[in-house]
């Protein structure tokens, strides 16, 4: 032990005690998905606080020179006899309701062993061994061990930051709520609506104690709106849902605030009407549970998840499940499909093996390797160990938890950084945009989806045309409901529903509209009429037609079925449709032809000139000015824009930057021309991004000299790059280390030729002018495709429900339902939301 004490003394300066704000990775390996529960446990560097699995810790030690690691290993506890549990007075495991199973305390399930391991000889030091060591060693190592174990892990901190499952605001009416002394006492059961005698979905008004039924749902279920009518007549705002009252709380709704709310005085308010909250039991579904039940009644859930069939579990390379981190099924489904595309496969594997050499974590490459290697494609342990095993295969896997990846792609995004359900199509575009930003000079896997769209606008007065091209990644397919092949059946179902509404009978089963895929393609390709089009040839408003075609065909085509729309009351809704999507697709007829022989083009509208200051600006310090002399100050050149037109567009609800671009690119020619521009560019990926003027590299107001993290700089410099190169990479990626490392290896050619001046700026940066960037790089080829994957959504809105994906592997359809991976028996291709096709080579 004396020898170990001497080693500890020699490395004492490298052992740090975690401080508030330090990121401690003690749940997951930085280079793989190993955890303390994995074989060999997890080694946490006691200097950088990065975690490493047993197969990578030697590599990190060799690369970094770090010798002290905290080794954490956990083994599953043996099952405890339930009769014994009932005899001891212990509180139940801590959990947060809202997701299946809640957040259970891991210490209730595992035995944990913690010790310090010194490399390269792997000498072990347990807590008890520290007692015989010098005071300085004992104190420093004990503090570091205790600090690491008590610190919140990165994954736990993310869960807390992202959790918003059932967070409700306190009602402004709750504290001062007036309750009538009308002698009303509510019995513990046997409730009925005072108007229609309904015995479920009942709400008691907290002001007068009267009981009425709740609102009617979209599918005809629920109540008859009598509680809402009572509020409209009485003005009493708060109501509690009977049957959800328990000692822990209840569902409280504020009709005035139109939302579920918290009532801090709920026990007192219930007691006023004779209800003892501490003795009540739950007999009704909460609103969250009811939303899930309503979604399931739509009929998609069982069909899409193939619930009625006994599915054969699959495992192996490319057949790895992903854990649901709380409404992360949209991310799981998208990434499973993307890592089926060869471009993303080769990129992730190449990058992953490089990062293994330098021991720098990369969340995207790690996720790709985890899904493709098959290393984590193992059956999950039976949750009922010791009980009789199930006769049917479950298909659940241990899978991988993409926590670090989710944190990376969601960082700074108002939606993807939360635990709320999201639109899979929006996430796909968000991820592609991230790839685009970080692969500008290197291999860019998103090129597999990139294509050019040709838009041809013909002025009907002058018959002159205008051609524009834009980049896109997803083909949005309209759903013409008037082309349904079962119109009579739909009309009969609507008639039966109206009869049920009037008679109070249960609503009939819903009928799904059947839309031919050919009708959807016809709606996509037919010309669109533009009214009030401002013609530069006629110098007046007229009518025009717009035709959209492909200027190029990508290697992989993504098709989004536009199922989500707005009703006449502007309430979002999902179209319940079945579309006979084909296995093979030929888009050749939709290729654009460009300007036709003899066709005249509309005159180009020149953009407005740039405004330069006529007089020197004084009293405002620029980035090069000082208090004595700010004559070097030169404000950014900004375009002269018609503020009134910009304001009119903003008042219509369009983003400010989009409005500014519309006015700029139509040459200040008025609201009509600007509106036409907005309508023609709403689908552009950068529609609401800050306006970047021609010849500039950043939007007004941004600065290329923002400070960078010294810690991130040191990490990149330790990999063999200069400080100036590291600074450039961090500035290009908003100070995100993982993105900066990816960026720097994607720009090696640029960096090798980079001449750095004494001031730390490259010659390329110092040039006054640059060649304009080349146009977007697109791949082109035949427009014939075959279906290889599709993502399906279950639920009434993109903000709720569940996503799964089906992927064709070796001529066999496979369903990926989070951690469950099985052979698909009846892939529901007619109910998909996103379809993925790959080019068929002749």
Contact between 796 and 219 under an 8 Å Cβ cutoff? The reply is no
DSSP 793: E
Active-site residue, 329 included:
yes
Distances in whole angstroms, Cα of residue 153 to Cα of each of 44, 74, 429, 722: 11, 15, 30, 32
The Cα–Cα gap between 832 and 462 comes to 43
What are phi and psi for residue 124, nearest 5 degrees? -105, 140
Annotation: binding site: 193, 196, 203, 213, 215-218, 226, 253, 255, 258
Give helix 403-410 / helix 154-162 axis angle, nearest 10°. Answer: 50
Please name the residues in contact with 571: beta carbons below 8 A apart, sequence gap of 6 or more.
none
The Cα–Cα gap between 359 and 349 comes to 15
Torsion (CA) 293, 298, 301, 302 in degrees, nearest 10:
100
Please name the residues in contact with 824: beta carbons below 8 A apart, sequence gap of 6 or more.
306, 311, 806, 812, 813, 814, 815
Residue 306, class by beta-carbon neighbours within 10 Å (0-12 exposed, 13-18 middle, 19+ buried)?
buried
The Cα–Cα gap between 441 and 16 comes to 39
The Cα–Cα gap between 783 and 789 comes to 18
What string of DSSP letters covers 280-321? Answer: ----S--HHHHHHHHHHHTSHHHHHTTTTS-PPB--STT---
Place of tokens 């009308």: 182
What is the H or E stretch that residue 111 is in? strand 110-118
* Annotated catalytic residue within 802, 805, 806, 822: 802
* Helix, strand, coil tally for the chain in percent (to 5): 30, 20, 50
Count of other CB atoms within 10 angstroms of residue 610: 12
The Cα–Cα gap between 215 and 193 comes to 12
Pairing of strands 513-515, 577-579: parallel
The Cα–Cα gap between 527 and 532 comes to 16
* Annotated catalytic residue within 329, 520, 805, 822: 329
Q: Is the peptide bond before 120 cis (omega within 30 degrees of 0)?
A: yes
Place of tokens 């007075």: 89
Count of other CB atoms within 10 angstroms of residue 633: 18
| Tokens encoding 653 | 């609800």
Place of tokens 């040839």: 537
Torsion (CA) 114, 119, 123, 125 in degrees, nearest 10:
-40
Q: Is the peptide bond before 518 cis (omega within 30 degrees of 0)?
A: no
| Tokens encoding 357 | 């050499």
Contact between 213 and 229 under an 8 Å Cβ cutoff? The reply is no
What is the H or E stretch that residue 739 is in? helix 737-746
- Helical segments of 388-486, H only: 403-410, 424-438
Contact between 329 and 818 under an 8 Å Cβ cutoff? The reply is yes
The number of CA neighbours under 13 Å toward the Cβ of 67 is: 16
Distances in whole angstroms, Cα of residue 536 to Cα of each of 455, 461, 465, 542, 682: 17, 11, 10, 10, 21
Give helix 723-732 / helix 710-717 axis angle, nearest 10°. Answer: 120
Sign of CA dihedral 727, 733, 735, 737: negative
Catalytic amino acids? 329, 802
């Amino acid at each position: 032990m004396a020898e170990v004490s001497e080693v500890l003394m020699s490395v004492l300066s490298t052992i740090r005690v975690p401080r508030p704000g330090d990121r401690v990775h003690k749940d997951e390996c930085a280079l793989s998905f190993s955890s303390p529960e994995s074989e060999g446990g997890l080694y946490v560097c006691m200097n950088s606080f990065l975690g490493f699995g047993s197969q990578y810790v030697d590599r990190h030690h060799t690369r970094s020179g770090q010798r002290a690691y905290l080794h954490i290993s956990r083994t599953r506890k043996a099952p405890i006899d339930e009769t014994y549990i009932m005899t001891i007075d212990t509180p139940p495991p801590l959990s947060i309701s809202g997701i299946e199973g809640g957040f259970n305390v891991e210490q209730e399930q595992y035995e944990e062993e913690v010790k310090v391991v010194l490399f390269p000889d792997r000498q072990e030091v347990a807590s008890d061994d520290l007692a015989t060591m010098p005071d300085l060693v004992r104190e420093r190592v004990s503090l570091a061990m205790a600090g690491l174990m008590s610190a919140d892990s990165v994954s736990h901190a993310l869960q807390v930051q992202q959790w918003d499952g059932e967070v409700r605001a306190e009602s402004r009416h709750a504290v001062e709520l007036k309750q009538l002394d009308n002698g009303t006492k509510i019995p513990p059961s046997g409730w009925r609506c005072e108007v229609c005698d309904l015995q479920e979905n009942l709400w008691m008004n907290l002001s007068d104690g009267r009981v009425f039924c709740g609102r009617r749902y979209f599918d005809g279920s629920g109540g008859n709106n009598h509680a809402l009518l009572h509020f409209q007549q009485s003005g009493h705002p708060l109501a509690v849902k009977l049957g959800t009252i328990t000692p822990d709380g209840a569902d409280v709704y504020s009709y005035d605030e139109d939302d579920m709310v918290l009532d801090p005085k709920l026990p007192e308010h219930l007691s006023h009407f004779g209800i003892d909250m501490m003795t009540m039991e739950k007999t009704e579904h909460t609103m969250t549970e009811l939303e899930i039940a309503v979604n399931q009644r739509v009929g998609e859930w069982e069909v899409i998840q193939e619930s009625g069939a006994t599915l054969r579990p699959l495992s192996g390379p490319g057949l790895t499940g992903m854990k649901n981190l709380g409404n992360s099924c949209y991310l799981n489904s998208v990434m499973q499909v993307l890592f089926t595309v060869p471009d993303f496969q080769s990129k992730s594997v190449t990058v992953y093996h490089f990062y293994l050499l330098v021991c720098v974590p990369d969340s995207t490459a790690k996720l790709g390797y985890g899904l493709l290697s098959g290393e984590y494609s193992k059956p999950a342990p039976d949750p009922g160990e010791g009980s009789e095993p199930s006769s049917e295969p479950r298909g659940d896997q241990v899978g991988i938890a993409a926590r670090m990846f989710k944190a990376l792609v969601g960082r700074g995004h108002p939606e993807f950084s939360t635990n709320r359900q999201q639109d899979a199509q929006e996430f796909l575009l968000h991820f592609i945009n991230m790839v685009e930003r970080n692969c500008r000079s290197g291999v860019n896997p998103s090129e597999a989806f990139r294509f050019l769209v040709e838009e041809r606008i013909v002025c009907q007065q002058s018959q002159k045309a205008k051609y524009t091209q834009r980049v896109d990644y997803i083909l949005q397919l309209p759903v013409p409901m008037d082309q349904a092949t079962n119109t009579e059946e739909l009309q009969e179902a609507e008639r039966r529903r109206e009869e049920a509404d009037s008679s109070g009978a249960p609503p009939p089963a819903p009928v799904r509209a059947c839309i031919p895929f050919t009708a959807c393609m016809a709606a996509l390709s037919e010309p669109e009429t533009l009214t009030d089009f401002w013609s530069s040839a006629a110098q007046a408003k007229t009518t025009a037609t717009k035709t959209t075609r492909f200027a190029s065909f990508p290697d992989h085509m993504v098709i989004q079925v536009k199922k989500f729309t707005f009703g006449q009351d502007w309430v979002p809704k999902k179209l319940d449709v079945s579309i006979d999507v084909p296995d093979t697709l030929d888009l050749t007829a939709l290729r654009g032809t460009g300007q036709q022989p003899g066709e005249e083009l509309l005159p180009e509208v020149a953009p407005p000139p740039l405004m330069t200051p006529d007089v020197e600006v004084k009293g405002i310090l620029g980035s090069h000015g000082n208090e004595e002399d700010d004559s070097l100050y030169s404000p950014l050149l900004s375009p002269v824009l018609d503020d009134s037109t910009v304001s009119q567009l903003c008042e219509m609800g369009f983003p400010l930057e989009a409005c500014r671009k519309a006015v700029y690119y139509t040459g200040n020619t008025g609201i009509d021309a600007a509106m036409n521009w907005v309508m023609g560019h709403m689908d552009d990926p950068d529609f609401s991004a800050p306006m970047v003027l021609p010849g500039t590299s950043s939007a007004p107001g941004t600065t290329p000299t923002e400070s960078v993290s010294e810690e991130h700089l040191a990490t990149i410099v330790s990999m063999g790059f200069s400080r100036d190169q590291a600074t450039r990479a961090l500035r290009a990626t908003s100070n995100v280390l993982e993105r900066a490392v990816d960026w720097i290896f994607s720009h090696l050619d640029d960096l090798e030729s980079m001449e750095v001046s004494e001031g730390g700026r490259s010659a390329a940066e110092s040039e006054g002018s640059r060649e304009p960037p080349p146009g977007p790089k697109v791949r082109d080829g035949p427009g014939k495709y075959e279906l290889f994957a599709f993502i399906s959504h279950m639920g009434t809105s993109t903000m709720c429900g569940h996503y799964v994906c089906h992927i064709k592997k070796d001529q066999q359809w496979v369903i990926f339902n989070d951690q469950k991976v099985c052979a698909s028996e009846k892939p529901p291709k007619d109910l998909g939301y996103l379809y993925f096709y790959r080019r068929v080579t002749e």
